Amino acid sequence: MNKKAFTLAEIMIVLTIIGILTAILLPVAFHSAPDENVMKFKKGNNTLGVVIRELVNSDQYYLNGDLGIRADGTLIDGSHDVDNTYFCQTFSDVVSTKSVDCQDKDVTVTWQFWNLSLIDLETNKTNADIGCKDVANEMGPEIVTSDGIVYYQTYPKMPFGYSNSGVRHFQLKDSNNLVSIYKTFCMDVDGIGKGEDPFAYGIRYDGKILMGKRAEEWMNKSVQKSD
């Protein structure tokens, strides 16, 4: 009985076809794969909004329209959340965490732009991102969720509420010419000091959230990898 086998030419043709198909399909497969950092950003962004809404609607954590007031009605250290471990702790209570290290300290990094008593919203958004990056190594990860997303503040002792003077924080004037302070809260999707810069958010005493510039831009990003 004669045994048939592939000739060398036939094998080479098959290998060539496989090579061509691989060259065509691999880039398609790569670009259709999800971008993990974008996915984690969108998840972390959604988590932030859900947690703040839950805190604002909670009888346990929120009273009289201020995230800096304990549920029993007392203020931290007699003023608007001067010891801001309270906000960090309440936030960490609501999410699934891997680690929590709520800090109560003044940061040594200073930013000249925080000295302005009033700056426009777009400038605020950009400066908030810069602030998150500047203090990242000094603050470290206050809250690390179970999926590795990091949250931290730029200046833990800065209160919620209102101020008539310039402060190193995310701030805007209201119709009564009072400066409404947005506590700058940062999110890092791949760990502090790694590839992606952190994203800044401004959180007001009543739960209103403003996105930093990078977060706004990433909201429009596709979860699929791009060129």
Q: Could you list the pLDDT tens digit for every one of the 227 residues in the chain?
A: 555 666 766 677 777 777 777 776 666 555 556 788 999 999 999 999 999 999 888 877 776 667 765 555 554 444 444 446 778 888 998 999 999 998 887 777 655 444 444 556 777 788 888 888 988 988 889 999 998 999 998 877 776 665 544 444 566 655 566 666 778 899 999 988 888 999 999 888 788 898 999 999 999 887 666 65
Q: Could you identify the residue written with the tokens 């065509």?
A: 24
* In-domain check, residue 73: yes
Q: What is the pLDDT of residue 210?
A: 87
Nearest to 69 by CA among 58, 80, 59, 56: 80
Report, in this order, helix, strand and coil percent for the chain, each rounded to 5. 40, 20, 40
* In-domain check, residue 123: yes
* In-domain check, residue 30: no
* In-domain check, residue 17: no
Q: What is the pLDDT of residue 216?
A: 93
* In-domain check, residue 42: yes
Residue numbers of the domain that contains 91 = 36-219
Pairing label, strands 97-100, 161-163: unpaired
* In-domain check, residue 24: no
* In-domain check, residue 157: yes
Q: What is the pLDDT of residue 100?
A: 94
* In-domain check, residue 202: yes
**Total domain count, the chain:** 1
